[in-house]
A and B are shown apart, each in its own frame.
Chain A
């Protein structure tokens, strides 16, 4: 920011003002030029009127909370969203919910050109806060919401916030013990808050910040405190848009279906063998194997489907197959069982197995082929017919099922993680999810 040429009769450059505490005599420096309304003596904790050249004492608060130390020391400068800011004030606030006191901290940031901004910290969760320049509107309905700059914020909680400890300069009349009614509405990563003190309502807008961003901005040493639990406006670590994932999943599913339909249409599905054989136990002493007629597979290497049908009923038949290439001698061995059982028991009728069996062999090169079949059957079965159907070039859909699952699993996992994260978030609100409301939960179990 260049100041340009100084005016003819301009006042001297404002500079940080040094004063002394009227109570204890400690040096007090006003860093925010004329912006401070109250300033707190760091050594005796008097709240002083910063507008009064003699710094009249406005309040002195109990020293019990003196050990409260700001994580960002007063006077620290940092760069937040491209603008230099100096930490000039710090306050600890608290609220009591069902007998438990919760504490959070607020830092007053100052830039002589851009003005005042705030940082808040609760359990390692940070927010970058500024006063709203336009007025949000609140709708009271089934779910109370507030609208700000075209976005809808959901009511999260209303608390009574009291100021317990103050340090440094404040651009308003700060007092220890002062209570304000604070209402938060969330639209992660933003939070819209209204703060009602006496009759005045101030709206502010905050955006979630990670501790490491604050540490980077103010070049602080060490590591920021680990955030505990899920904060009201913390952005979900899960992909921002669960709906989007399901839309993408649906698009992929449709694509897979189209692909399946395409391959199904392109497949020749050419029948190459259809035979019915009879199994006779009496005849099958010793060698039972036999070979079928030769059939030709043409075109590119493709699938061969072998379908077996046997009218079994509370029996089994087992067929040892070998698909043999007459030209090369290459063989594919496989065994198939056809069994079907049914009956009645105390639960009613039941059945198990099927009279049909289908197997698909992939990547069979073209050539002349025959099947060698060696049947075995239930010892109680004297004789049974069975039919063998061989079809060349059938479409295989199993791979699509795997692809479908491969897409479905992450979508389900992401949805579940998002659901548990949101449940943790809202369990801390005035509107806890049903299953959480009866439990005393410590948040953050899901992370």
Chain B
């Protein structure tokens, strides 16, 4: 797979897409948000420096999910009234795109689902049950969140969002689901909670005073 290469229309720095399906990236140097219109890049905005955060994960962190290796290529940072969390965009070695979230170091991996006929946000309430792919999910919390920033490559354009609503659904196992209402059409992500040690992460950040 050849990696698409282009130059930042703002500062001219070289932009390499590690994931061929990336739609958006952020210039590492000038922090311009760049949207791909195939290989020509269009600057659509600029991100402020991301606030310091506590995630041990960073762009280029590598890990394993089951028998598949992945690398972190992008990130969306969200905030809600109890804190913040990251959705790390990861590229699996089979080319699939997935999301590794860390909310207070509770790690979960999820994939976009193609399930149709998702409920409208107004119809969802805590305790409600939904069944997708033969798995019942219970709505545990509805979180109004605020989009805080982006970094790296993303599979969609995500630069003009402000407030988004997420619906978290849990099961009796480690599986969970998230309904994302950031677009007019809801999106469903199905995934499971994972143990930090099982991810066998490499290229983690280091923290002063900790090994």
Chain A residues proximal to chain B, CB less than 8 Å: 1-5, 7-11, 13-16, 32-35, 37, 51, 84, 111-116, 131, 133-137, 147, 171-173, 199-201
Main secondary structure of the interface of A (DSSP, over half): loop
- Find out whether the CB atom of A135 lies under 8 angstroms from the CB atom of B171: yes
A317 to B60 CA separation, bound complex (whole angstroms): 103
B203 to A3, Cβ gap below 8 A? yes
Closest 8 CB pairs of A and B: A115-B105, A15-B208, A34-B54, A3-B206, A33-B54, A4-B203, A34-B53, A112-B207
Contact of B105 among A16, A116, A135, A172 (CB under 8 A): A116
Query: How many Å from the CB of A343 to the closest CB on chain B?
Result: 74
How far is B104's CA from A133's CA once the two chains are assembled, in angstroms?
A: 12
**B54 CB contact (under 8 Å) in A14, A199, A201:** A14
CB atoms of A135 and B172 under 8 A apart: yes
**Roughly how many angstroms separate A355 CA and B181 CA in the complex, as a whole number?**
96
Set of chain B residues within 8 Å of A10, measured between Cβ atoms:
58-59, 205
State whether A200 touches B84 (Cβ < 8 A): no
Q: Is the interface of B mostly helix, strand, loop or mixed?
A: loop
What is the interface size of chain B, counting residues whose CB is below 8 A from a CB of the partner? 40
B residues apposed to A, CB below 8 Å: 28-29, 50-56, 58-60, 81-84, 104-106, 126, 138, 140-141, 170-174, 193, 196, 202-211
Taking A16-B209, A34-B51, A135-B170 as given, write out 15 further A-B residue pairs in contact, using a Cβ cutoff of 8 Å, ordered by the A residue number: A1-B211, A7-B203, A9-B28, A15-B209, A34-B53, A34-B54, A51-B83, A112-B207, A114-B105, A115-B196, A116-B105, A135-B138, A172-B83, A173-B81, A199-B126
Task: Give the number of A-B contacts (CB < 8 Å).
Answer: 107
What separation, in Å, do the CA atoms of A7 and B140 have in the docked complex?
37
Q: Which residues of B contact A134 (CB under 8 A)?
A: 170-174, 193
Are the C-beta atoms of B172 and A133 separated by less than 8 Å? no
Q: How far is the CB of B20 from chain A (nearest CB, A)?
A: 21
Q: Is the CB of A112 within 8 A of B211?
A: no
**A37 to B53, alpha carbons, bound, how many Å?**
12
Please, which residues of chain A bring their CB within 8 A of the CB of B209? 15-16
Knowing A9-B28, A37-B82 are in contact, say whether A14-B138 is a contact too (CB < 8 A).
Answer: no
Whether B54 and A112, one on each chain, are in contact in the complex, defined by CB atoms closer than 8 angstroms, is yes
Q: Are B106 and A133 in contact (CB under 8 A)?
A: yes
CB neighbours of B140 from chain A (8 A): 135, 201
